Structure 1
């Protein structure tokens, strides 16, 4: 590796990785090197599964949402026959971006440059002057497609030639996802169509380091904790991290969990201070005889942070999708979730709760991310310590490959770096797969 970040041969080799990642330290170049970032976009966000959307966002045939696989522009679609696909948002003729709307419904995608038209599953439908191409019917002009798999409505995509079975990839994190889904009456979840979008000037992995960090909340979110104190509400974040029974777990494939529930015997709703309209909504539930603990707790998050590497974070009532933009720039798309089978007051309470932390807590995180990125730009200070809690971590006696620790452990960071290292060094073959059977192109 050269001083300016260039990598011999254009990609990292095992020897390069061994110099950058150790069991208890990581080199700053993982966050600052353009060549590393480019390889991550190929292998980390192409060589494994990554979240692309929820089936509730594709309400009818022809529905689509615009998403990204790393920096690749893709479309998540539902065909007339109900098939869910992920296709490259790129005309197969000259590479023009086909769709600029974030979501919509259409029978076809039409290229604005030369008028090529594609079915929503990627099949080339027709072209102007098809006689200009000898093999226009061969299928080679279909849109590139990714492997797609869905688990209980959550849709993931991969460009790996042979990705693992999705349930194998979810592994020991799957019961946590099941528990999250089963909180919702009838297990029905609706993802709001328009997310809150934020950008910050830091590498995407800085936010991943933060996703399962149990200590920062006491300090970085001090102002949010003071709001709770002034309302006589003890938020989980305000508690002494040295004495809380919060548990962290690191899973294979880079996934992790922080379970805050052991520290809140009163349930999730007990941690919420009064917010605009929430008292009135709770009173309405009580008048209707619906104010059970389960219903009230559904008004806020589960108090379990579930992180599915490399891009999906479950926090509160929200899905945070981590979208790398550049080596030092990241976008968060925060999707709010509603519970269609719950009392109508529940979703109104969830909206107020969703507004709360993203207004008073999330900006703290972004400021910390940007401070970290600026600090990592100092070339003489090369290493970041990731050893916190390593000596105290224990293996889960019931699940092989799972490390457990207290709120202070950095086991989740060490865990995702192992998966990052595997993907960056094994570099699984990537390809888009054809649409089959080949369609007939109309004239």
Structure 2
């Protein structure tokens, strides 16, 4: 691993730990350093011929990305006194300022209703850019059997029946309920959609804690890496903390990746989630993916009130995820739960962070109850809900998961579903 750093000057001359992220990407972490050490290291990098590609300062956290034959990302965290240097020979160039494009459409966020007939997870968000292209976040579980087709159909519907262009597709982590249907799109529906660039950062399947992840996660991560390599026409950007990138009129800031968790445990794979803050039309949306306890400590400890947002995606589907303090700092007016009504009901009494997020919000929406359409800039009361499209197959759910519910509860759920299914379809903005 040290060879990848052979052309990188080291003026710090202190002990460090190294972390292999994937082939041709690695990180060094230094502890007990100062901002002056960071500046000295940046100066040495510049003297080596690296050009400053982008710089971002968030509170007392300083981040710079340099470029030569490859990317070099360096950042210093004041509260932790840590400095990290990432050599990235994989990523392609990304936009560091708002792209010059036609301003034809208003930006809109959709919390998409993935098919929950057989599975209670999955997460898919869609944002329309000003030129009519789309930025998509994650996808759906393999048991959401036809969601590769449904997602494309919905994008076509939003695009006046035309073939959709996804200008950016981002993945929070590689659990199958977040990436499986994207991979099916690449395998079976590639000619029905144009995709410019994907954004992600997954830990390697050789990670020391990989035995705790389960065979399915290791297999899905491997499949993802092998599949995207087969599509060289799609740009690939590996995200690192502090980077700021733009997709058309949308601005994104990377708040946390698994690189920040190192050297702590990744036994809980949810802590490998990347967290993003999006700004669109002066509104902020916070996407923590499935961030859990380790990532939560990083987010709360580093950013404080920078986490203030208009809309927050509830972490890990409303299961054990981020803390009460995370949602207190976010203080979002709108909370989005990528979960089913059943699991929402089960988790609410157990998860104080969920209750706090709802208490602080003016509105909240559960993904299984119909796709939510939210115009940006965000204004309370403008959200529209599409008719509910999917409902639990309780017989199959019992066969698969041994989940069972009373006849009365299932009847109640079905009657509520029928009411939502008959809602008038809102006009697509």
Q: Give the TM-score range, shorter chain.
A: under 0.3
Whose radius of gyration is greater, 1 or 2?
1
Higher RCO structure (Cα 8 Å, ≥6 apart): 1
Calculate the TM-score normalised by the size of structure 2: 0.25
